[in-house]
A and B are shown apart, each in its own frame.
Chain A
Amino acid sequence: MRTRSRCIAAILLAVSAAALIGFAALLFGAKPMSLDAAMRAVFVPSQNTDGIIVWTLRMPRSIAAFLAGAALAVAGLLLQVITRNPLAAPDLTGVSAGAVVLIVLTFVVFPTVSSVFYPFIGMSGGLLAAAMTIWAARAGRAPPLHLALSGITVSLFLNATTAYILIRGAPQSPSVLFWLSGGFQGRSWPQVTYMLPWIVLGIGAALASHRVIGLLALGDEASAGMGLNTARCKLLLLLCAAALVAGVTPVAGPVAFIGLTVPHLVRLLRPAEAVSAILLNASFGGAILLTADALARSVAAPREIPVSIFTALIGGPIFLYLVQKREHLPSGEGAR
């Protein structure tokens, strides 16, 4: 049980680091704030400037970043478990691109559609993209490389469609591009409550099916031998992953690298059970995206730097390090 206590410690560490960074991030930004001013604003809510900055700008934004990071990391983990492929991440299986393309299409062609429906639209796009990927790879019976190849093909196809829509639907393009670059500028409580149900649903369902995830990691034959209906379980997990991506995408746009890198990072800790793997992914992903967002708005304040620069700068080297360190990245959960 040493691994379990180590995992719990790591989760607590990541969450408290996130809380600490989130608190520190309250101090920085376009208007720097002293420590006790921030303390006062947090614990004695009021309607003065500091109170508004803390409660309606910086705090909800950090919370949104944490939630989005958690969701993307868990989605990455789920996709990697389903495909048994170390490169399966929301961006590399077409799920993100599918969510983006339908949302952009709706935004440009039917501007009157309320944004409440965007997660549903995004989810159907993500599922459609996943269906295309899986169709081309013959429901995963093909070798893992084929699945990755078709995933990349599908996402390139969908990205080209998005580009085409943007070129044609000129007037709204700049605001769409702003959203497409990903980030949390101006996101507040409405956005948090907007994506919360999707994230709770997705992560909750993933936690509820932790046994399935553990079995799937053993391989298709082994898990089928244990009496698992692998096809149905994979579909279920895919739905979870799509829900997570679809909940995050309308708010934050496509945020690169969290879904790809965090599961690999977590695997270094060798979590023994699927539950701790999911929780570790959620806490690490949240902490990393929160940090990236805090950097994005404070490094060049008052200017805002897109968050994807920082997720790439944090995630890219981590991923490269992992690639360098190991000859073969592990393909499934719990595998070395």
Chain B
Amino acid sequence: MTFGTPTSGRLGRGLVAPLTLSAALLIAAVFLGVVDLPAADILAVLAGRGSDDADLVIGTIRIPRILTGILAGAHFAVAGLLLQAITRNPLADPTILGISQGATLTVTIFLLFAVYGSGADAHTLYSLPLHWLPLVACAGGMLTGLLVYYLAMRNRLSVLRLTLSGIAIGATLHALAMGLIAGWGSSRFEIVMQWLSGSLYARSWEHVVFLLPFTFAAAVALPLLHRSIDMLRFEEDVARSFGLSYRLHFSLVLLTACGLAASAVGTVGPLIFVGLVVPHLAHFLAGRSFGMVMPLTVVLGASLVTGADLAGRLLGQAEEIPIGVITALTGAPVLLFLLRRRS
């Protein structure tokens, strides 16, 4: 994000490996999948001359799915990075601040009402308004973010209070959502469970279109905000002494992070680990060149989600393993090792 760093040579070198990796992942994600298409067919589709079947598989299933994954992964990772920077807390991520849980709860309530409101029995499964889920979840996540923010801001902005309120609200909403799911007890819990563990299954161009405005907004806002983000890393008094209007900029950055996180949760479900682990990984790879952290975060976030989706598709075959499970299973050991090294 800070483009004019003196270490641009190192910046280039450090980015080479992750970029190569993510490009390789991208190609693999297009070419590999449950439906075994010959590589020549896929190339034909990409050149615009594919058969109808191949067009369907690649153009309307795989590519939007991959794009959704890339965007959502970048959203989660950047949101995590922003939250960790402004709360000066390596623990911060969309889950810690309760955004994911708020989205989960609204989705659960929404499905509950949708199912009972439509006079449901076992046969109404197909009429579930699934395309409303992103919007509902996004609204829930934003509302939760605002609530946490309000509680933290009430007297005097306190970063510790922000974190603790987020954890408390997140845990409350999570318990409520799990309670609703369990108390509901119908066969439909699978939909919620699948959504809960995060999945790119059946994500289409709609989801890409839903995410893009948020991506653009953040892409415009972040370069404008990057100086204040750097200063928000300091204590409030120090940041003020640089002439920063602390509350305003804190709120703006928090709003950006909430928007990114809530939109991503809305489309792919709460991918717990991406927001937490990717910024740490980026810091670890970037070492002391802070300018590289943001681009690395974007690239790593996108590749982690794409890679996890690919792995879930290939390992699980017809029964996909949700990405959330894969990101947690692979991300957690990495984070634990990083923690042990640092402490």
Contacts and interface: CB of A to CB of B under 8 A. Distances in A.
A132 B167 contact: no
Contacts of A135: 336, 340
A309 interface: yes
A141 B340 CA distance: 11
A174 B325 CA distance: 19
Contacts of A312: 171-176, 179
Interface string B188-218: 0100010001000000000000000000000
Interface string B246-276: 0000000000000000000000000011001
Nearest to B342: A146
B197 A316 contact: no
B329 interface: yes
Interface residues of A, number: 57
B329 A152 contact: no
Interface residues of B, number: 50
Given A257-B175, A327-B158, A150 B183 contact: no
Q: A87, A312, A313 — which one has the most chain B CB atoms within 10 A of its CB?
A: A312
B343 interface: yes
B192 to A, nearest CB: 11
B165 interface: yes
**Max chain A C-beta neighbours (<10 A), residue from B167, B169, B173, B327:** B167
Contact of B340 (A138, A177, A304, A328): A138
Contact of B335 (A141, A153, A304, A315): A153
Given A132-B336, A146-B343, A153-B336, A256 B171 contact: yes
B195 to A, nearest CB: 12
Contacts of A117: none
A181 B179 contact: yes
B328 A157 contact: yes
A178 B329 contact: no
B280 to A, nearest CB: 9
Contacts of B173: 312
A87 B90 contact: no
Interface of B: 89-91, 96, 151, 154, 158, 160-161, 164-165, 167-169, 171-176, 178-183, 185, 189, 193, 197, 272-273, 276, 319, 321-322, 324-325, 327-329, 332-333, 335-337, 339-340, 342-343
List the 8 closest A-B pairs by CB distance, nearest first. Answer: A316-B172, A181-B182, A142-B343, A160-B328, A312-B175, A157-B332, A309-B179, A306-B179
11 contacts: A92-B167, A145-B89, A146-B342, A149-B335, A160-B327, A161-B325, A167-B325, A181-B181, A181-B182, A313-B172, A324-B161
